[in-house]
Amino acid sequence: MPFVEIMDSTLRDGEQTSGVSFLPHEKLMIARLLLDKVNVDRLEVASARVSEGEKDAVAKICNFAEREGYLDRIEVLGFVDHHQSIDWIRDCGGKVINLLAKGSQKHCQQQLHRTPQQHIEDILEEVDYAEKMGLSVNLYLEDWSSGMRDSEEYVYRMMEGLKETPIKRFMLPDTLGHMNPMQCSEYIRKMVGYYPDKHFDFHAHNDYDLAVSNTLAAVMSGCKAVHVTVNGLGERCGNAPLASVQAILHDQLHVKTNLKEGQLNMISRVVEDHSGIAVAPNQPIVGENVFTQVAGVHADGDNKDNLYCNELMPERFGRKRAYALGKNSGKANIEKNLEELGMELTPEQTRKVTQRITELGDRKEFVTQADLPFIVSDVLKHNTQEDRVKMLSYMVSTSYGLKPIASIKVEINGQDYMAESTGDGQYDAFVKALRKIYKENLNRTFPRLANYTVSIPPGGHTDALVQTVIIWHEESGRTIRTQGLDADQTESAIKATFKMLNIVEREVSGSAG
């Protein structure tokens, strides 16, 4: 099985993401995790001569790496700058420089104002000095993809001038992110064909959303190493994402890497937290939703020999499959979630819970697994006898400086009643309107509210389901406890109230009969 090196550049190229700047201790922590837990082969941790804070971070990482035997895996981007980058890296304790040279004639002439031969001589001088200082050298051919497209002979001239040096790796960047996989394959095959004894890396950018595809093409065409960043961080549209590259190399090309797949979700969350750049919910491998089945037919298929699963099994990446709850769920999704929670329901109970979730899903984007016990409790505790007291319509309003107003229309034993009232809150106004109907139209007393408790599942958001539990006291001294469940807090309390009224009304009607 062929082997491919993985070089992670989150702490260098990834930090060029707009708004991202890791503190020295954060860089050290991420470096430790990438080396110890994720087991990347190499780690590019900084650009030389950026700042004193960067120098402190690189020194800390190199000190740690030396203690743990990782120092030859730590790399720092350096420049053709009369040895200044080499001295800077050496002062930090580093042993590897990724020397940035020009891979296109346009960059060489218009940015450096040097001829190709002059640039080669400058590079040779840096390589010779690095060797004397005990540093090994890898060489970036910056803008190499443009060089191959516009000035192919220049690229070969650079290689001819440098092929006899101790440069360990020649790194081929698609700096502007404008290649497609066909071009990538063509250009790399030429490089490998002309220089079969050289070690080539490929460094992708994602401007056309082709970074992963180009990385795949590069490996297929003979590259021995690829560059990635956690969560695809990087300048402009970013780089090839670590998790996606690992998955596609393993599953599509069947090549070997040293990465520990079970740690990919962990490092994604860490970098997400410290970079402040959120991972898209549909980001492959590490996105929040990528292992969530929404349609009930998919859950049913999974029950029947994993019909809707591919090689990207969530357990590979430290994840687990989830089955979304909502209007599209279906019975199979419900059963999967109940099974995970250790809850067993009869088929009829499951049908009622499914119906309730579908109703809630029409009003709420999704129902979480944490909501499910509340829903089950709400459905199973609700008496299935026909309601004698029904809500026909209501309107509650609130405004700054004015008391809330409630206008309601209810049906009690087949008769419609309407009332309005104000209150100290929306629910208070609603209950006062109900009390008015019971007093003025039915000449009946209304149980007293003794306790009112609201709770939401742990980690709930603004659209979380709300469970309202209300304790009522009747004049007889009896206590009634009812609960309501809804995404709207007022609606949840109203449902609890109507459960109580139906309990009372059924007893009144029963005694009258």
Helix (H) / strand (E) element for 379: namely helix 372-381
Number of C-alpha atoms within 13 angstroms, CB side, residue 287?
A: 13
Alpha-carbon distance of 276 to 260, in angstroms, equals 24
- For tokens 């019975």, name the residue: 331
12 catalytically annotated: yes
Is residue 214 within 8 Å of 182, Cβ to Cβ? no
Q: CB neighbours (10 Å) of residue 501?
A: 23
**408 has which bridge partners?**
394, 419
Concatenate the DSSP letters of all residues of 223-265 into one string.
Answer: -SEEEEBGGG--STT-B-BHHHHHHHIIIII--B----GGGHH
Q: CB neighbours (10 Å) of residue 472?
A: 22
Burial zone of 110 (CB within 10 Å; 0-12 exposed, 13-18 middle, 19+ buried)? exposed
311 catalytically annotated: no
CA distances from 82 to 55, 121, 171 (A): 19, 12, 21
Nearest to 12 by CA among 490, 2, 36, 40: 40
Q: Indicate if the alpha-carbon torsion angle 429, 430, 435, 436 is positive or negative.
A: positive
User: Which residue out of 44, 142, 335, 491 is catalytically annotated?
Assistant: 142
Read off the tokens for 408. 């309601």
| Residues noted as catalytic | 12, 142
